[in-house]
Amino acid sequence: MSAAPPWVDPGLLPMGAAVDALERALLDGLDPEADHPRGRVELGSAGHLLTMPSRYGGFAGVKLSTVAPGNPARGLPRIQGVYALWDAETLAPVALLDAAAITSLRTPALSALAARHLSRGRARTLVVFGTGPQAAGHVDALRVVLPELERVHVVARDRGRAERFAADCGATVAGDPSVVGEADIVCCCTSASEPLFDGDLVAAGATVIAIGSHEAGARELDERLMGRAAVVVESRASALREAGDVLLAVEAGALDPDGMVTIDELVRGAAAHAIASDHPRVFKSVGMSWEDLVVASAAWERHPGRS
C-alpha cells in the first residue's frame, strides 16, 4: 500500500506569489473556457456538496467542498472541504490541502490580478463591503498589487463587526454605501442577493470587484452599473451559467454578453480597447476549478517534503 499523500499548508504560498502564479498560467496559455463546470450534489436540508475538478500542466486536482447553511448556528464553519492534488502523468496522489484555505487564497489573488490590470496604478481609496475572511483577504491582496492605496473604508450591516474589521485591517468604518462615489476600487465580498449600492454612484475609471455569489439569482451589483461598465469575467460560459450579476443585467437588457472581456484576454493585453477610462470597470468572479489547481500546485511546489 502506498503512503498517504502529505497534508500541505496553502499558507506556504504568499499572496503575491499566488497572484503571479495565476498570471503566469494565463500567459502560458491556460484557457478558462475549457475548464470543467462546477458540480453540485444536494444533501437534503443539511446543504450541498460542490465538486471542482481541473487539469493543467503537470497536475490534476479536485476541490470537494460542503456548504452547510445551518453550521454557523452550531458554531461550525459554513463551508468545509478538502483539495486533492494528483500527478497528471502517473495519476498518483501527491498532496491534500484544506479547501477553505485554498479558496481564501485564490479568490482574492485572482481579484488582485484583475485589479493589477484594470486600475493601472491609480487606486488610492478602497471601499470593501463585508467583514468576513474574503473581505480581509481582498484588502491584503489589493495592498500587495496596489501599494499606493492610502485609504480603506468598510461597509457592513453590523456596526460592531465593521469596527473590529476596521481595527484589524487598518480601515475606517463608512456609515453609508454612497461612499462608493469616492472610491477608486470597490470590493463586494458579501452573501447579499440584492445590489449593495446605487451603481450610478461609481465614478468613471473606478474598478469594482464582485465575488460574493455564484448563484444565478443573486447579485451584488445592479444593472445600471453593469450596463455602463467594461465587464470582465473569468469565462463567458461560467458567467452565463452562475453569475447573477451578469445574468440579471442581461435579462434586463442592460448588458450585451458578447461585449464581456475574459480575464485571460485582459492579462494577455488583448482587451485594452474595451477598458476605456470614461466608464467603470467591473470584474465579476464566480470561482473556477483552474484557479484552485494553479494555487494548490504552486503551494505544493514549495512544500519541504516534495521530492
Q: Which CATH number is 14's domain given? A: 3.30.1780.10
In this structure, the answer to whether residues 193 and 69 fall within a common structural domain is no
In this structure, the answer to whether residues 110 and 98 fall within a common structural domain is no
Q: What is the structure's pLDDT at 2? A: 66
Q: What is the structure's pLDDT at 115? A: 96
For 46, list phi and psi in degrees, rounded to 5: -70, -30
- Contacting residues for 24 by C-beta, under 8 A, at least 6 apart: none
In this structure, the answer to whether residues 121 and 85 fall within a common structural domain is no
67 part of a folded domain: yes
Angle at 305 between CA 300 and CA 307, to 5 degrees: 85
DSSP-derived 3-state class of residue 50: strand
DSSP-derived 3-state class of residue 209: strand
Which residue is it, cell 453590523? 158
Count: domains in the chain: 2
Give me the numbers of helices (H) and strands (E) for the chain, helices first please: 10, 13
277 part of a folded domain: yes
Q: What is the structure's pLDDT at 121? A: 66
In this structure, the answer to whether residues 220 and 260 fall within a common structural domain is yes
Pairwise CA distance, residues 227 & 219, whole Å: 14
Q: What is the structure's pLDDT at 213? A: 83
Pairwise CA distance, residues 165 & 207, whole Å: 22
In this structure, the answer to whether residues 83 and 148 fall within a common structural domain is no
Where does 99-136 show beta strands of DSSP type E?
Answer: 125-129
pTM: 0.95
Cell numbers standing for residue 302: 514549495
Q: What is the structure's pLDDT at 277? A: 72
72 lies in which domain range?
10-102+290-301
* Residuewise pLDDT in 10s, the chain (307 residues): 567 899 999 999 999 999 999 999 999 999 999 999 999 999 999 999 999 999 999 999 999 999 998 998 899 988 899 999 999 999 999 999 999 999 999 999 999 999 999 987 678 999 999 999 999 999 999 999 999 999 999 999 889 999 999 999 999 999 899 999 999 999 999 989 999 999 999 999 999 999 998 888 999 999 999 999 999 999 999 999 999 999 999 999 999 999 999 999 999 998 877 777 789 999 999 999 999 999 999 999 999 877 6
4 part of a folded domain: no
In this structure, the answer to whether residues 207 and 84 fall within a common structural domain is no
Please, what is the end-to-end C-alpha distance for the chain in angstroms? 19
170 part of a folded domain: yes
- Contacting residues for 236 by C-beta, under 8 A, at least 6 apart: 33, 257, 260, 262
